[in-house]
Structure formats: C-alpha cells, structure tokens
Amino acid sequence: MAFVQAAFSDPRVPLHDRQEALNRAFADPGLPAPGGMPSFWLREPPFSELASLQSAELATEAEVVIIGSGITGASIARTLLSNAVGNRNQEARPSVVILDGREVCHGATGRNGGHILETAEEFSYFEETYGVETAIRTMRFRLAHLAELLRVADEYGLSEVAQARKVQFLSVHFDDEKWVETVRSIRRLKECMPAETVEWKIFEKSEIPKEFCLAPDARGVIAGPAGAMWPYRFVTGLLARLREQYPKDLRIETKTPVTAIRENAISTDSSALRYSVITGRGTIRARHVIHCTNAHVGHLVPGLRGRIYPIQGTMTAQNPGRSFRPQGTEHSWLFNYEHGFDYLTQLPSWGKTANKMMLGGGFGQHADRGILALGVASDNEGVPPYTLSHLKKTLKKTFDQEDWGEWSADQDVDTAWTGNMGFSADGYPWIGKLPHSASGRVEAVERGGGHGAEWLSCEVQVTED
C-alpha cells in the first residue's frame, strides 16, 4: 500500500489527477469488459475444454453460487466440495455453481506475475501498528501459503503442467533509504520469528553473490523462500479435477455475468434458498452467494466501493539476454526503487516457453507516480505507453550487462498486456459475511503481492462458517 499512499501524497502529482483517481476508486467498476488483452498465460491451454464451459440450461437452484473463477473462487470451491458442504446425496441441485462473465480464469489470476510470494518486509509496520503478537500471527499465516499451494498442486497432479516450484526470491533494492528501512524490518522479523525465517538472508552491496547476475548499482538484496507457477494452468487444472471428482455437484458457467442479486423472503430455515442470482441466461436461487470478483466487487456490492478499489497492472513476456544464465527454477525477483517496484519470474528451461522472463510492474515510474492507474478496472484498452517503455528497459538495467548479453526490445519483448487488481483501503483482505443490506459473503483478498493471502484466507472463512 505504500506506493498508493506515495502517489496521493506526492505534491508533484496535480491535485486534479489525485481527485480524479479518488472519483474512480469510489465509482462503480462495472462488469469485466468482454475479451480483454491477450495474456501470455492463456496460450495453448492444457484444459481447453474448461475455458468456455457452459451448460445447455442454467441450473435454477444451488447450495452456493460463487461469482468469479480465479484462484479465490477455485480455493472456495475446493474447500466446499471436499468438506461436503450442501446436500449432495439428498438434493438434485448442485452444491456449487461458479459463474464468470468471461471465460474461466481470464481475470486477474490469468494475468498476473505467477508469484507465490511473501517478502515479509512489512513486519515492522505490522508490529508498530498492531503489536508484535498480531504481527507474528499475520506473518505466520502469510508464510504458510507457499507450502500449501505447492502441496495442493502436487495433490491434484498439477505440479508439472502448472510449473509449480519452490524458488528463492531476491528482493533487490536500488534506493538507499528504503534499503535501510527494509534491513531494520527483516532483522526484527528474524528476531521475533527465528524458526520461520532460517532461510531469510540479508546481502549488503559488497556481499551480493556474483551468481545473482545483478547490476552493480544494486544497494542490497533480501533473499528468502518463495514459489512460482503458471497461475492459469493451476486454476483451470484444479477446476478440471474437481469436475471429475464431483460431476453432479460442481457446475461452471462461463460468459454468464451476474447483473443483480436479490434477497428472497427472509426465512428462519437455514436451508432456505435466500438469494436470487440474476444473469442474462436465467436466475439461480441459492442459499449462499460468494463474491470473488476482485477489482469488480464494488459493482454488485456498492458498499465496498472505495474500500476495495481497482488498480490497473501491466505484465510482459520477454526473452532473456543472450548471455543470461537460466534461473527459472532457482529465483524470482523484486526490483525496488525510490518510487514503485517491478516483479519477475522466469519460466523453467523446457518446452515452447522455455526461459521466458515474466516481468510486470512499472507502477510509479512515470511522473504521475501511478495515479493514472488507480481506479482503472479495464484490461482491454491497451498498455500505457510510459509503463511499457519502462518495462522494456528494466531487465537491461537491473542485471549486469556482461551477464545479460545482447538483447533488443523490438525483437525480444514477446507480448504485453494489462490486468486489474482489487486493493483494499487498509491493505488487508476483506473476508466474511456481508451486512444485511448486501448479499452473501465477500472474499476479496488481493493485495497485489502474488498469491500471498488468497488461498488460506478462503479456506479459513469457509470452514469456520
């Protein structure tokens, strides 16, 4: 959240631009735009039968309707089905119906950077704001996602196809002031959580290993455990496995945007179908409705506008320099500057996509400090030229020139696309039952740092309710 606060507090950003960003943040984000820019992750889908799945007739009843088919919706569906939520043996209606306005996983999860990442660099902020015990609990919860996501990928036989792997993250700093703050926070983290942070390391400028291949102006590096994966393949693979396992209890309906949700007559019967979920293909009556729509949650839940707001992000797929040593199964990267940061994974060294550099970011690198991306919920209107210009230069600047080698932006930038992320005003997940004036439950847990909070946040909420 620091980069958002910096954009609003920077006096060089015109007041008019800041006000316009606030207006967008509190506006209706609308439904996802049809299509969206082509994302590299969506190419040659191994579970192609799932992409445009749609039944001949929409179910009229369901135990639970999940709106959204990204990683959040997939996590909830898996938890509900594996815990036998619903009356699968007693009722003809399905336990879970997933509705998506576009194709499966074509939103933020199908457009992000492929990280499973928690750098823990916010630990001191959590401690100063909420106390050390809450800071430790929060960080312990976030850190648990790495092992759990890799375990789930293995459980469903998706590790290879989704390229799910453990790596070492390298959080590279290029700004002296931010580096000093980060080192202080990580040292405090290791003091408070010694058992959990054995793998965390601090490299001052003179200590940075040459095999990291970093540019000589890097101020320092924080290294620790992380993961990387092909997010679209992970989610679509998981949903395909769940359909095989629960053929009568899971329905997936693509190109079925929800236009409204209405509460039916209130009943004290816990099994009553309390909500009517209205789509252009018909209406589904359901006991529960769960919103997993990320940046678009404010469309159906107006009370969350401004509390959860969209930010447009940019991703690219690039070829590495001719001399670059492949590190896709070793490292992922964050490049931290005075303003903003970029993030990078490299794909493993096999198949058609071998060694691709999946680079995203560019936020805060323009004179507007990223303010023009705040409140933007579209992903089909082209990549901002100043952001793309920055990302085309990033890798040549952040890696050592000798280790990087020959490279051309015209030839080696494969593709670029945008996506939108839902950020909460306080930087924390919004999870749980909505008030009586709204509908169902919300699972809006994106905070822009990879899959660092979504998965287990959903599992905890579903199993507790």
Examine the domain organization and report whether 412 and 432 are in the same domain: no
H or E element at residue 442: strand 441-444
Angle at 232 between CA 1 and CA 222, to 5 degrees: 40
Burial class (CB in 10 A: 0-12, 13-18, 19+), 348: middle
CATH number at residue 403: 3.30.9.10
- CA pair distance 458, 74, nearest whole angstrom: 9
Bridge partners for 98 per DSSP:
66, 252
Q: What is the pLDDT of residue 440?
A: 54
DSSP secondary structure code for residue 337 in this structure:
-
Examine the domain organization and report whether 295 and 199 are in the same domain: no
Q: Is residue 133 part of a domain?
A: no
Residue spans of alpha helices (H) in 356-453: 385-398, 401-404, 409-412
Write 182-189 long-range contacts (CB < 8 A, 24+): 182/121, 182/220, 182/222, 182/336, 183/220, 183/222, 184/124, 185/120, 185/121, 185/122, 185/123, 185/124, 185/125, 186/120, 186/121, 186/123, 186/222, 188/123, 188/124, 188/127, 189/120, 189/123, 189/124, 189/139
- CA pair distance 300, 278, nearest whole angstrom: 11
Examine the domain organization and report whether 222 and 246 are in the same domain: no
Q: What is the pLDDT of residue 139?
A: 95
Q: What is the pLDDT of residue 461?
A: 52
Q: What is the pLDDT of residue 449?
A: 43
Q: Is residue 136 part of a domain?
A: no
Residue range of the domain that includes 334:
2-24+164-229+312-419
Examine the domain organization and report whether 282 and 327 are in the same domain: no
Examine the domain organization and report whether 353 and 261 are in the same domain: no
CB 189 within 8 A of CB 174: no
CATH number at residue 62: 3.50.50.60
Examine the domain organization and report whether 218 and 347 are in the same domain: yes
Domain count, the chain: 2
Q: What is the pLDDT of residue 368?
A: 74
Q: What is the pLDDT of residue 448?
A: 40
Examine the domain organization and report whether 414 and 342 are in the same domain: yes
Examine the domain organization and report whether 48 and 70 are in the same domain: yes
CB 146 within 8 A of CB 226: yes
Examine the domain organization and report whether 324 and 205 are in the same domain: yes
Contacts of 14 (CB under 8 A, 6+ apart): none
Q: How far separated are the first and last CA of the chain, in Å rounded?
A: 29
Q: Is residue 79 part of a domain?
A: yes
Contacts of 258 (CB under 8 A, 6+ apart): 67, 99, 101, 277, 278, 279, 300
- CA pair distance 355, 346, nearest whole angstrom: 6
Examine the domain organization and report whether 299 and 318 are in the same domain: no
CB 233 within 8 A of CB 74: no
- CA pair distance 445, 421, nearest whole angstrom: 10
Examine the domain organization and report whether 225 and 182 are in the same domain: yes
Q: Is residue 139 part of a domain?
A: no
Q: What is the pLDDT of residue 369?
A: 77
Instruction: With CA atoms as reference, report the closest residue to 361 among 337, 333, 391, 395.
Output: 391
Average pLDDT, 10 consecutive residues per value, the chain (465 residues): 72 89 95 91 94 94 95 94 62 85 96 95 94 96 95 98 98 97 98 97 98 98 98 98 95 97 76 91 95 94 93 96 98 95 97 97 79 91 92 97 94 95 86 68 47 56 52
Helix (H, G, I), strand (E, B) or coil at 68: coil
Count, residues in the chain: 465
Angle at 319 between CA 316 and CA 323, to 5 degrees: 140
Q: Is residue 246 part of a domain?
A: yes
- CA pair distance 414, 256, nearest whole angstrom: 31
- CA pair distance 133, 121, nearest whole angstrom: 17
Examine the domain organization and report whether 98 and 12 are in the same domain: no
Q: What is the pLDDT of residue 451?
A: 47
Q: What is the pLDDT of residue 450?
A: 45
Q: Is residue 251 part of a domain?
A: yes
H or E element at residue 430: strand 430-433
Residue spans of alpha helices (H) in 251-290: none
CB 39 within 8 A of CB 110: yes
Measured in degrees and rounded to the nearest 5, phi and psi for residue 282 equal 140, 180
Q: Is residue 148 part of a domain?
A: no
Residue 439 structure tokens: 């509908």
Q: Is residue 33 part of a domain?
A: no
